[in-house]
Amino acid sequence: MKRATTVLFTALAPVSWGSTYAVTTEFLPADRPLFTGLMRALPAGVVLLALTRVLPTGAWWWKAATLGALNIGAFFPLLFLSAYRLPGGMAAVVGSVGPLFVAGLAALLLAERPTQRTLLTGIAAAFGVSLVVLKAASSLDLIGVLAALASTASMATGTVLTKRWGRPEGVGPLALTGWQLTAGGLLIAPPAFLIEGAPPALDDRNIAGYIYLALANTAIAYWLWFRGIGRLTATQVTFLGPLSPLTAAIIGWAALGEVLTPVQLVGMAIAFGATLVGQVRPRASTARGVLWITSVEQGVEQGAQRIRS
104-154: pLDDT as tens digits: 888 888 887 878 888 888 888 888 888 877 665 455 678 878 888 898 899
Instruction: Choose among 294, 287, 286, 303: nearest CA to 113.
Output: 286
Q: Note the pLDDT tens digit of each residue in 83-99.
A: 777 655 566 677 777 88
What is the arithmetic mean of pLDDT over 231-237? 87
Decide: 84 and 135 in contact? Cβ < 8 Å. no
Q: What is the DSSP letter of 31?
A: T
Of the two residues 157 and 257, the one the predictor is more confident about is 157
Distance of alpha carbon 244 from alpha carbon 221, whole angstroms = 12
Instruction: Choose among 173, 222, 164, 198: nearest CA to 44.
Output: 222
Decide: 132 and 267 in contact? Cβ < 8 Å. yes
Q: Give me the pLDDT at residue 281, please.
A: 66
List Cβ neighbours of 90 (8 Å cut-off, separation of 6 or more).
133, 134, 140, 144, 145, 148
Decide: 128 and 270 in contact? Cβ < 8 Å. yes
- The rounded radius of gyration (Å) of the Cα atoms in the chain is 20
Asked if the model's pLDDT at residue 80 lies above 80, the reply is no
Phi-psi region of 76 (alpha: psi -120 to 50; beta: other; left: phi over 0): alpha
Percent of the chain exceeding pLDDT 90 equals 41
Distance of alpha carbon 286 from alpha carbon 309, whole angstroms = 35
Q: Give me the pLDDT at residue 245, please.
A: 83
Q: Give me the pLDDT at residue 18, please.
A: 84
Confidence (pTM):
0.82
- Amino acid identity, residue 109? L
Q: Give me the pLDDT at residue 139, please.
A: 59
Instruction: Choose among 132, 135, 151, 155: nearest CA to 251.
Output: 132
Asked if the model's pLDDT at residue 174 lies above 60, the reply is yes
Q: Note the pLDDT tens digit of each residue in 209-230.
A: 999 999 999 999 999 999 999 9
Q: Give me the pLDDT at residue 265, please.
A: 87
